[in-house]
Every structure is written in structure tokens, then in C-alpha cells.
Amino acid sequence: EVQLQASGGGLVQAGGSLRLSCAASGFKDDFDEYAIGWFRQAPGKEREGVACIATIDGSTNYADSVTGRFTISSDNAKNTVYLQMNGLKPDDTAIYYCAATLRPCGVSIPYYDYWGQGTLVTVSS
């Protein structure tokens, strides 16, 4: 059974930092065949992509809203992807989800095959 376990959310003041983790297990294919994306969904808003990493070569892409503040990375030995979030803003408040796809980063949400349960990030002003 494939599992993506997202963790690391919490309450932080504006300007603060958090690091989210996404631990993967149960993949039929090798971990480095997957792209892992972080997404977020704020109350009343659609789910949006935040960052993605191709675990095979570490190439990344980011949403414009987080570029320069968030960093996605992968530890393939641990089957874990991280999202380091610095300079947090109240607009970053959302449930953050990680998801996996065998397709390249940049594909739309329906092409992500596996999803974690989400972790809540709340940024106070």
C-alpha cells in the first residue's frame, strides 16, 4: 500500500519558518522514478501547486508566490521530500499536501497518483 505521510505543520508568526516532510512508502516503482509535489489548499480556495521535485535528478520548480522563500529537496535514501518554508506570510496559511506522480513536474493535479493526508500550516500576522 502506497503511503505519503506529510508532517511538520504548525502555527508560526509571520516571517517565521517551518520545514515540512513527506515520507513515502509502498511504491511499486523506485522512489527516484517519481516526481513529488507539494500543494496547498486554503479555506474557500482551490488546491494549488507550490513546488515540485524530480527525485531522479533534483530538478525543481516553484509557484511564483513562493519563489525565493520556499525550498524543496529530496533525500532519496530516506524516501523523503522536504519543503523548507522561510519568510512565511499569512497568505501561506493552508493545508499542505504532498503527492507523487510518475510524470514530470509541471503536470496538472489530476495526474498525481498518490496523495498524503495533509498538514496544517497557520501563519499569524
pLDDT band of residue 29 (cuts 50, 70, 90) is confident
**What confidence tens digit (pLDDT) does each residue in 56-88 have?**
999 999 999 999 999 999 999 999 999 999 999
Q: Give the whole-angstrom CA distance, residue 113 versus residue 110.
A: 8
